[in-house]
Structure 1
Amino acid sequence: MTAPDPRTIAVLAAAGFPVDVLTDEQLQVFGSLSEEELALLLDIKARLDEVEPEVQAHGTVAGGALF
């Protein structure tokens, strides 16, 4: 297993992803995202953040990694 790209992890952290609580396996997945995948994930998170009060209650059920 290769180490996750620290630049990708830094971008995710700056966007508000809770990278400090992710497992090594989760960091590996996030750290191996392509530029296109990272851009899509950041776009989805930004749109979810815009409607946060409406979506926040579903964070536990839907997978807190995105929220």
Structure 2
Amino acid sequence: MTTEDDANLRALADAGFPTGGFTEEQRAVFSGLTATELALILDIKRRLDAVEPEVRAHSVVAGAALF
């Protein structure tokens, strides 16, 4: 694993991804992300985190009935 690969996993961990629980195969995939791919995943995670309270509120009210 290169320093850049380590940086990918650190960035994911810093964003709240459970990298400690990744399988070796998952670590390899995430380690191999390009800078653009990593930025996209981190942006999606940030946006999902931003709406998490709203999503949780809907799931409490609606339960699994909608899904």
The alignment's TM-score, normalised by the length of structure 2, stands at 0.74
| Whole-angstrom CA distance in 1 between matches of 2:21 and 2:52 | 20
**After the TM superposition, which parts of structure 1 deviate over 4 Å for at least 4 consecutive aligned residues?**
none
| Whole-angstrom CA distance in 1 between matches of 2:50 and 2:10 | 22
Which protein has the larger Cα radius of gyration, Structure 1 or Structure 2?
2
**Aligned residue pair count:** 54
Show structure 2 runs of 5+ residues with no match: 60-67
For the aligned residues, what is the CA RMSD? Answer: 1.6
The alignment's TM-score, normalised by the length of structure 1, stands at 0.74
Cross-structure match for 1:46: 46
Cross-structure match for 1:31: 31
Amino acid paired to 2:33 = L
Taking the TM superposition and a 5 Å limit, the aligned residue runs for 1:1-67 are 3=1, 5-53=5-53, 54=55
| Whole-angstrom CA distance in 2 between matches of 1:12 and 1:34 | 13
Can you list the C-alpha shifts for 1:17-57, whole angstroms capped at 9, x where unaligned?
Answer: 000001000010001000000000000000000011306x6
Show structure 1 runs of 5+ residues with no match: 58-67
Identity %: 50
